[in-house]
Amino acid sequence: MQSVHTPPELRSAFDAHFGTPAPALFVLSPGRINLIGEHIDYNNLSVLPMAIGRHVRLLVRPRADARVRIASLSAGFGAREFLLGREIPPYPVGDWGNYVKAAVQALARTHDGLHGFDAALDSTLPVAAGLSSSSALVIGVALALLGANGRTWDAVALAEEMAKAERYTGTQGGGMDQAICAGAVEGTASRVDFAPLRITPVPVPTDWRFVVAHSLSRAEKSGGAQATYNRRTVECREALSLVETRLTRGGSSGRGYRELLATYSAGELVEIGEQVLDGDLRKRFRHVVTEADRVRRAEVALRGSDLATFGTLLSASHVRLRDDYEVSSTALDELVAIADAAGAAGARLTGAGMGGCIIATAPARDVEGVLDHLRTEFYVPRAPAGPLGDHLFLADPAGGARVVELGQ
């Protein structure tokens, strides 16, 4: 039995809500930064995320019945309680409990005879920051349920199942977040390929640093941001279909972006897009095909410890996300500009955008300068509430979600 230090405040919350006996499991489920490959996972194109050492954490006690009770320590979240089953009615749109129900309903459909659990939950990840707190919660709940029932799982299969499951909340997401959360290996980023899902660890050079800086505006996955996100997935499909129709002279080929990129270079596809598409669709298409190419080159740079090339690709990604995909914001652009001017090798928004965080990369010897500039030029004038370390921090490559059995 592995002994582990569980957070005392989480243990107190568990005891206050659920009394004795003590929790039996501790689940740690990481957030992530996406190094590069933004808004292309739902087009089945490869991406390069990295799990970070900030987590959704659950203390869990199995139950003998089908009830799930979960209490969050995060301010304003409260507790949720429902019955496990194959058809679980959702809470109102935007309720955090829907991420819990998403995982539980999906597993109830594929696993017979599951019992529920009681859990206290907290997070060292900022919420709605584009750091995948939602998928960390979904995967964390899945591990809590499987662990409480003594079931085993395969990280890749679970990630695939939970990517579909999370659509219960209304976001038509790709599978990047669930994959990196379930399948990350410490010390590495991962190339994630889709259809079928594959997770290939790529070591991160030990002298590379990744700064995470929050724009102080939330990247809400409900309401307007969710609608924009879902609209982008439709625009990508429309652009693809128009390009394919032209390339096959009206015949329907059923090919995807990946097949197009295997036949044509990104540059050729940009030209084809210019002939076939107008307005927004032309811009969305240009981002997608050039971003896929940047991911491929960024993986080569990462494997070759070539931070200058890697950083240039990150910065180019941000420009396309800002100008073509239109998911940046004034604050995100400002953070990127400050990081660039402070000597970062590259910087870009990470995650879905429309608020949330940027990442900036720099060699270890330069990173203090980047942090200093961000601190003095962005955060000091805005004086955000709470410790600065909640908004500005370094991210190290962490391992995937895990369950620890607690000794009594």
CB of 366 to ligand NG1, least distance (A): 27
CB of 202 to ligand NG1, least distance (A): 18
Output the residue with the shortest Cβ distance to ligand NG1.
173
CB of 42 to ligand NG1, least distance (A): 5
Measured from the CB atom, is 120 or 295 closer to ligand NG1?
295
Question: Does residue 1 contact residue 373 with C-beta atoms inside 8 Å?
Answer: no
- Strand pairing class (25-36; 67-72): unpaired
Token code pair at residue 278: 């107008």
**C-alpha–C-alpha distance, residues 391 and 55, integer Å:** 15
CB count within 10 Å of CB 159 equals: 27
- Strand pairing class (346-349; 392-395): unpaired
C-alpha distances out from residue 211 to 161, 190, 369, Å:
31, 18, 11
For residue 228, count CB atoms less than 10 angstroms from its CB and return exposed for 0-12, middle for 13-18, buried for 19 or more.
middle
Measured from the CB atom, is 29 or 135 closer to ligand NG1?
135
**C-alpha–C-alpha distance, residues 282 and 130, integer Å:** 25
C-alpha distances out from residue 54 to 39, 48, 82, 210, 393, Å:
23, 18, 28, 14, 11
Token code pair at residue 122: 């907290």
First-to-last CA distance in the chain? 10
Q: Where are the beta strands (DSSP E) in 110-179?
A: 117-123
Measured from the CB atom, is 32 or 373 closer to ligand NG1?
32
Paired with 229 in beta bridges are none
Among 47, 48, 52, 227, which Cα is nearest to 136's?
Answer: 52
Active site annotation includes 95 = no
Paired with 203 in beta bridges are 188
Measured from the CB atom, is 31 or 147 closer to ligand NG1?
31
Among 147, 138, 139, which Cα is nearest to 111's?
Answer: 147
**C-alpha–C-alpha distance, residues 147 and 161, integer Å:** 16
Measured from the CB atom, is 29 or 132 closer to ligand NG1?
132
CB of 331 to ligand NG1, least distance (A): 16
CB of 305 to ligand NG1, least distance (A): 25
Which one of the listed residues 177, 293, 324, 340 is annotated catalytic? 177
Measured from the CB atom, is 173 or 400 closer to ligand NG1?
173
Measured from the CB atom, is 118 or 293 closer to ligand NG1?
293
Question: Does residue 141 contact residue 103 with C-beta atoms inside 8 Å?
Answer: yes
CB of 97 to ligand NG1, least distance (A): 16
CB of 163 to ligand NG1, least distance (A): 8
Q: Which residues lie near ligand NG1 (CB under 6 A)?
A: 34, 38-39, 41-42, 130, 132, 134-135, 166, 171, 173-174, 176-177, 219, 221, 351-352
**C-alpha–C-alpha distance, residues 106 and 101, integer Å:** 8
Question: Annotated active-site positions, please?
Answer: 177
